[in-house]
Structure 1
Amino acid sequence: MLTTVDEVLDFIKDNDVKFIRLSFCDLLGRQKNISVMPDELPRAFEHGIPFDAHAISGFNDITKSDLLLVPDPTTLSVLPWRPQQGRVVRFYCSIKNPDGSVFWGDTREILKSVVNKFSQKGYTCMIGAECEFYLFKTDENGEPTTKPFDNGGYLDVSPLDKGENVRREICLCLEEMGIRPETSHHEQGPGQNEIDFKFSDAVNSADNLITFKQVVRSIAARNGLFASFAPKPLPGKSGSGLHINISLMKNGQNIFRLGEKEDSKIPESFVAGVLQKITEITAFLNPIPNSYERLGYFEAPKYVSWSYGNRSQLVRIPAAQKDRRRMELRSPDPATNPYLAFALIIGAGMYGIENNLELPESINVDLYSADESITGKLPRLPENLEEALRLAEKSDLVRSILNERVIERFVELKTKELKEYDRAEDKYGHFIENYFRVI
């Protein structure tokens, strides 16, 4: 990894780089970028490259429309699907105000701040994301359709699984970019796939997830396909989740273990904090109306509970040894902004540690078929985005992690979306028109 500005500038000169993409995310986690030529890069590092914040949904109004992108030199990646002569590289950027201060809507900086607070207590979160997606056919004009690329099912092989070559190409591309794929396979839904990559620290993991989605879309398009990360693109079929795996590190050792007397108190309190605060942060983890069509079906959770190995639970503790001991949070979906999602989940866990929360008893039953005598006693995830937004607005935890302007703008954007959704007579048509192509 290159770490200094001088190292980066030397790399640009020595590797025939002709175009440089300066990338960032809006409040909703959608990637944006500006391209500059190599001669502009020193200016970008020193002063930043200006852009119109008013044109980015949720950012400043037109009276304060100037913001600056300052590239992070440690995030340099060559884009392998672009030409090898006259290469294209990409940086993730900090977003600055004209006076050099951090912009209030820079969600990557929000995550950095939470990570720093957690590290001051002696802990580091390592995060691995398991992101599902669908591959769809395109029409004669190259526009997306809702026809799945194949009719394969979970772990099927060719010829039922037509996506194996696409997944292979995606994995090789990720590897070239320094992101190490670990497993890839066909998922339950027709045309549904999953590729898992190695865990990392929280900020790098969020960066990698944004990169992963771009790679999947780009490689799919190169193969004449469309990749959708929508939570529930096909009614009646499996939804796409973003399972977030978290382990806790202290003094370089993974301390994530439960039920081992004093050694397990910290991770137990962390999990307890996530369980207690999950309903308050759900609006950010499941941020579109379509998200709530996924929850409660096809192994997506509905109740606030935990267990070992049980995929009907909100939090699952997988069977794993040493460095791979972790918790798996199963409610988030790929529509989330990962910087906000990771910040809020870590914040909830930190709340649990600070307040010495006790982990409730595990519920090791199939919650999809369990009797009302069991499920009726369990807290539930919000039924819809409107309920989730109400809980988020009232949450002291959310206000302790996100600044007031982020909360205000996020709720404003989502309330507007909800009104448009409620007015639509054809809900699925509204989803296709407004979310299917952009999530």
Structure 2
Amino acid sequence: MKNSEILMNPNSLVRFLKKSPSEFTKEDIIHFCEENEIEMINLRYVAEDGKLKTLNFIISSKDHLNTILADGERVDGSNMFSFIDAGSSDLYVIPPRYRTAFVNPFVETPTLEILCSFYDNEGKPPLESAPGYVLSKADEEFTRQTGATFKTLGELEYYVISQKEDLYPPGLDQRGYHASEPFAKFEDLRVEAMRLIAQAGGKIKYAHSEVGCFTNGDKYYEQHEIEFLPTPVEEAAEQLIIAKWIVRMLGFRYGVDISFAPKITVGKAGSGLHFHMLAEKDGKNLMVENGVLSPPMARKMIAGILDAGDAVTAFGNSIPTSYLRLVPPHQEAPTNICWGDRNRSVVVRVPLGWIGDQNMTRDANPDDGSVDEVRPSKQTFEYRVADGSADIYLTVASLIVSALHGINMPNALESAESLYVDASIFKPENKEKLDQLRQLPASCWESAEVLAQKRAIFEENEIFPAGMIDSRIATLKAFDDKGMSEKLYGKNDEIGELVESYIHVA
């Protein structure tokens, strides 16, 4: 890690240890705790509900700290995962991921946080059905088959819900996109969240206010988004998990509600959790070839994700209100299984990626010769279906598996070509053609049915355990929400009650 990168890194451990988080060791963590008078350490981990769990430790000695970091602790797995029986439920939580260490910014007592992995009751590494391990297996299989690194980034959307105030009213309903303070009331919360996420190791691209902005009675609703930079998939998932915790903690401190729920009320923009993807080898972005989206790699990956994308909803859209966002009127959320350039109503979107005219910066800064430097391609493609109810580990794992499925599909390029659409497809005169496209599931029940049909894609190479697929299908069907959208149509009070019951999902 270059000295300039260390000096500018917001993570205090990086600056103190003068090394990249990927190089952190147990001895490094102990040294940091000694020199910075750290009094507590928290082991953190994510269970089936997607929320961060905590074990608190007061450090009593160097030997005690060493034991915590080396051995972890045991927990009751039956209260973590529905598929673990209470009769034999002990699990270990072990902190091998020292790269995730960061100082807790919310407590007066100097405290260090570390994410952990689950191991089974025989100490076998790791717990086969742990979502983090499933993601690790998918990541390794992608690299084994392609020789490339799968990278992803998340777009974390959320609402701030507060009491309505009359000072600087926000203006037009659903027109909050990139609004600035004072018309965006919670820009300060978002900026503080960015700062704290970066200190915790998150690599942020940017953040802004989003479309959703409205009042309802005495409540004010304001939508925001924090977007990350592409990183290896396990790091990307960890960043999102920590970011959600930090944003919620700030909301708690500010006295406002934070919601990542897919639907917040009737007729208003919902919140998605979009994932951008790329494959990289030897520092080269494989999504681009000769200045255009790569036919042999990117298009095959897209074809696979479209083929399995309706089943991916089983991991990325896990509650009934997810499907209130995925039906018209949908405020840009997708409903038809297709892909396109820059189109926000498709399952997979290819955003602008600086693969066109390279002269923009030079034109804007004609006297600055440094703008002529060659930069790596930023081109990605984006899966736009998932939302805040997603199991982040399993959703990313399912996207990797689906991309591999596409790479191995004999007819992948033909499939990608047949499912490509431009913006005109959504015009009324093209309704017949639009109706020929497959639809995303309209309920948890339908999502479970599709997963059951396509489970072999996810179970291939033993990445998703069969028992996990069985459990996911049973969990989704237990909502008994088949035909829910039709049953609730026009019943705004009932929809409101349903939305409120899932306001703090995942």
Count how many residue pairs are aligned between Structure 1 and Structure 2.
Answer: 427
Report if aligned partners of 1:273, 1:348 keep a CA contact under 8 Å in 2.
Answer: yes
Report if aligned partners of 1:231, 1:241 keep a CA contact under 8 Å in 2.
Answer: yes
- C-alpha distance in structure 1 between counterparts of 2:122 and 2:380, whole Å: 42
Q: Which residue of 2 aligns with 1:119?
A: 143
The structure-2 alpha-carbon separation of the partners of 1:414 and 1:95, relative to structure 1 and needing over 3 Å to count, comes to same
Report if aligned partners of 1:28, 1:336 keep a CA contact under 8 Å in 2.
Answer: no
Decide which of 155, 163, 166 is 1:130's aligned counterpart: 155
Q: Which residue of 2 aligns with 1:142?
A: none
- C-alpha distance in structure 1 between counterparts of 2:351 and 2:292, whole Å: 19
- C-alpha distance in structure 2 between counterparts of 1:293 and 1:316, whole Å: 21
Q: Which residue of 1 aligns with 2:421?
A: 363
Taking the TM superposition and a 5 Å limit, the aligned residue runs for 1:8-23 are 8-23=29-44
User: In structure 1, the residue corresponding to 2:480 is in which secondary structure?
Assistant: helix
Question: Does 220-229 or 252-261 show the bigger shift?
Answer: 252-261
Identity of aligned residues (%): 25
Q: Which runs of 5+ in 1 are unaligned?
A: 140-147
The structure-2 alpha-carbon separation of the partners of 1:367 and 1:165, relative to structure 1 and needing over 3 Å to count, comes to farther
- C-alpha distance in structure 1 between counterparts of 2:382 and 2:78, whole Å: 38
Instruction: Kindly indicate whether residue 494 of structure 2 is the aligned counterpart of residue 426 of structure 1.
Output: yes
Report if aligned partners of 1:123, 1:249 keep a CA contact under 8 Å in 2.
Answer: yes
Report if aligned partners of 1:82, 1:88 keep a CA contact under 8 Å in 2.
Answer: yes
Q: Which residue of 1 aligns with 2:12?
A: none
Q: CA deviation at 1:109?
A: 1.0
Superposed CA deviations along residues 317-368 of structure 1, whole A, max 9, x for unmatched, are 1111343111011111111011000000011001111224112242002555
One-letter amino acid of the structure 1 residue matched with residue 225 of structure 2: E
Q: Which residue of 1 aligns with 2:206?
A: 183
Q: CA deviation at 1:92?
A: 1.2
Taking the TM superposition and a 5 Å limit, the aligned residue runs for 1:27-42 are 27-38=48-59, 39=61, 40-42=64-66
- C-alpha distance in structure 1 between counterparts of 2:482 and 2:303, whole Å: 36
Q: CA deviation at 1:419?
A: 6.6
Q: Which residue of 2 aligns with 1:223?
A: 254
The structure-2 alpha-carbon separation of the partners of 1:349 and 1:54, relative to structure 1 and needing over 3 Å to count, comes to same
One-letter amino acid of the structure 2 residue matched with residue 354 of structure 1: N
The structure-2 alpha-carbon separation of the partners of 1:369 and 1:295, relative to structure 1 and needing over 3 Å to count, comes to farther
Superposed CA deviations along residues 349-402 of structure 1, whole A, max 9, x for unmatched, are 011112241122420025554432221121111111111111112221122231
Q: Compare CA radii of gyration and give the structure with the larger one.
A: 2
User: In structure 2, the residue corresponding to 1:436 is in which secondary structure?
Assistant: coil
Report if aligned partners of 2:426, 2:434 keep a CA contact under 8 Å in 1.
Answer: no
Decide which of 270, 276, 279 is 1:239's aligned counterpart: 270
- C-alpha distance in structure 1 between counterparts of 2:51 and 2:483, whole Å: 20
Q: Which residue of 2 aligns with 1:393?
A: 452
Question: Does 424-433 or 250-259 show the bigger shift?
Answer: 424-433
Q: Which residue of 2 aligns with 1:407?
A: 469
The structure-2 alpha-carbon separation of the partners of 1:41 and 1:393, relative to structure 1 and needing over 3 Å to count, comes to farther
Q: CA deviation at 1:66?
A: 0.7
The structure-2 alpha-carbon separation of the partners of 1:263 and 1:381, relative to structure 1 and needing over 3 Å to count, comes to closer
Using the size of structure 1 for normalisation, the TM-score is 0.91
The structure-2 alpha-carbon separation of the partners of 1:367 and 1:194, relative to structure 1 and needing over 3 Å to count, comes to farther
* Alignment RMSD: 2.5
Instruction: Kindly indicate whether residue 91 of structure 2 is the aligned counterpart of residue 67 of structure 1.
Output: yes
Q: Which residue of 1 aligns with 2:435?
A: 376
Q: CA deviation at 1:9?
A: 1.5
- C-alpha distance in structure 2 between counterparts of 1:188 and 1:36, whole Å: 42
Report if aligned partners of 1:3, 1:73 keep a CA contact under 8 Å in 2.
Answer: yes
Report if aligned partners of 1:81, 1:173 keep a CA contact under 8 Å in 2.
Answer: no
Q: Which residue of 2 aligns with 1:337?
A: 391
Q: CA deviation at 1:59?
A: 4.4
One-letter amino acid of the structure 2 residue matched with residue 163 of structure 1: F
Q: Which residue of 2 aligns with 1:323?
A: 377
Q: Which runs of 5+ in 2 are unaligned?
A: 1-20, 165-169, 214-221, 355-375
- C-alpha distance in structure 2 between counterparts of 1:160 and 1:27, whole Å: 38
Using the size of structure 2 for normalisation, the TM-score is 0.79
Superposed CA deviations along residues 280-337 of structure 1, whole A, max 9, x for unmatched, are 2211111110001111400100111111111122111111134311101111111101
The structure-2 alpha-carbon separation of the partners of 1:106 and 1:41, relative to structure 1 and needing over 3 Å to count, comes to farther
Report if aligned partners of 1:307, 1:313 keep a CA contact under 8 Å in 2.
Answer: yes
The structure-2 alpha-carbon separation of the partners of 1:399 and 1:158, relative to structure 1 and needing over 3 Å to count, comes to same
Report if aligned partners of 1:27, 1:105 keep a CA contact under 8 Å in 2.
Answer: no
Report if aligned partners of 2:152, 2:275 keep a CA contact under 8 Å in 1.
Answer: yes
Report if aligned partners of 2:83, 2:468 keep a CA contact under 8 Å in 1.
Answer: no
Decide which of 92, 95, 98 is 2:115's aligned counterpart: 92
User: In structure 2, the residue corresponding to 1:21 is in which secondary structure?
Assistant: strand
User: In structure 1, the residue corresponding to 2:105 is in which secondary structure?
Assistant: coil
